[in-house]
Structure 1
Amino acid sequence: MIAPVPFRLFMNPRHGVPGVVVLPESGFRRASAEIRGWPGRLPRPPVALPELAQAAGLASLHLGQVASPGYAYALSRLLRAELARRNMPAGAPGAVTFACAQGRGDDLAAIASAARRLGVRCMAFVEDGAVPGNDAQVLRGGYEEAMRHAGQQGWLFVSAWAAAGYTEVPRDIMQGDRVAVSEALAALPVAPTHVVVPGGQGGLAAATATQLRALGGATPRLVVAEPAGASPLMGEAEGRPAQAPPGLLAWQELERSAFAFLEAPDALGGVLAAAAEASSRVALGLDATSRLLVLGQDADPAEGSAGQGSQQGGLA
Structure 2
Amino acid sequence: MFLVNSTSDYKKPLIAGDADTLGVDAAVEVERYLTFRDNHAETPLVSLPALATEIGVGAIHIKDEGQRLGLGSFKALGGSYAVIRLVLEEAGRSLGRNVDVFELQSPEVRAIAKTMTVACATDGNHGRSVAQGAQLVGAKAAIFVHSGVSDERVAAIARFGADMIRVDGTYDDSVREAARVATGRGWTIVSDTSWPGYERIPGLVMQGYTAIVREALREMQEPPSHVFVQSGVGGIAAAISGHLAVVMGEDRPTFVVVDPARAACIVESAKAGYLIKIDHGEPTVMAMLECYEPSLVAWRVLSRVTDAFMTVDEDDAVAVMRKLANPADNDPAMVAGESGGVGLAGLIKVASDPGMKAALGLDQASRVFLINTEGATDPKKYEELVGRTPESVVANTFERAKA
TM over 0.5: yes
Change (3 A) 1:257 1:217: closer
Secondary structure class of the residue paired with 2:369: strand
Matching of residue 12 in structure 1 with residue 5 in structure 2: yes
1:74-223 residue pairs with structure 2 within 5 A?
Answer: 74-87=82-95, 89-92=108-111, 93-102=113-122, 107-128=126-147, 130=151, 131=154, 132-135=157-160, 136-141=162-167, 142-213=174-245, 214-215=247-248, 218-223=251-256
Matched with 1:306 is none
Give 1:19 deviation, angstroms.
Answer: 4.0
Matching of residue 33 in structure 1 with residue 68 in structure 2: no
Secondary structure class of the residue paired with 2:293: coil
Distance in 1 (CA, whole Å) between partners of 2:202 and 2:376 is 18
Please give the TM-score of this superposition, normalised by the length of structure 2: 0.67
Could you list the runs of 4 or more consecutive aligned residues of structure 1 that deviate by over 6 angstroms after TM superposition?
none
Give 1:102 deviation, angstroms.
Answer: 3.5
Secondary structure class of the residue paired with 1:143: helix
Paired residues, number: 293
1:252 to 276, 293, 300: 300
Matched with 1:307 is none
Contact kept in structure 1, 2:158 and 2:164, CA below 8 Å: no
Give 1:121 deviation, angstroms.
Answer: 1.1
Give 1:33 deviation, angstroms.
Answer: 2.5
Matched with 2:61 is 62
Matched with 2:343 is 267
Give 1:278 deviation, angstroms.
Answer: 1.0
Matched with 1:242 is 277
Matching of residue 279 in structure 1 with residue 355 in structure 2: yes
Matching of residue 224 in structure 1 with residue 249 in structure 2: no
Contact kept in structure 1, 2:79 and 2:127, CA below 8 Å: no
Distance in 2 (CA, whole Å) between partners of 1:70 and 1:217 is 27
Could you list the runs of 5+ residues in structure 1 that have no partner in the other structure?
1-7, 302-316
* Residue identity in the other structure for 1:179: A
Give 1:78 deviation, angstroms.
Answer: 0.7
Give 1:40 deviation, angstroms.
Answer: 4.1
Secondary structure class of the residue paired with 1:125: strand
Secondary structure class of the residue paired with 1:282: helix
Give 1:257 deviation, angstroms.
Answer: 0.5
Secondary structure class of the residue paired with 2:344: helix
Distance in 2 (CA, whole Å) between partners of 1:184 and 1:84 is 33
Distance in 2 (CA, whole Å) between partners of 1:277 and 1:267 is 16
Matched with 2:42 is 43
* Residue identity in the other structure for 1:76: I
* Cα offsets for 1:165-185 (capped at 9, x unmatched): 211111111111012221122
Contact kept in structure 1, 2:110 and 2:138, CA below 8 Å: no
1:71 to 75, 79, 99: 79
* Cα offsets for 1:66-96 (capped at 9, x unmatched): 3431211110011112233344921312221
Which stretch shifts more, 20-29 or 243-252? 20-29
Distance in 2 (CA, whole Å) between partners of 1:286 and 1:133 is 44
Contact kept in structure 1, 2:43 and 2:63, CA below 8 Å: yes
Which stretch shifts more, 208-217 or 233-242? 208-217
* Residue identity in the other structure for 1:242: K
Structure with the larger helix share: 2
Secondary structure class of the residue paired with 1:90: helix
Distance in 1 (CA, whole Å) between partners of 2:236 and 2:122 is 18
Change (3 A) 1:190 1:196: same
Contact kept in structure 2, 1:124 and 1:137, CA below 8 Å: yes
* Cα offsets for 1:239-263 (capped at 9, x unmatched): 1823432111101100011111121
* Residue identity in the other structure for 1:251: W
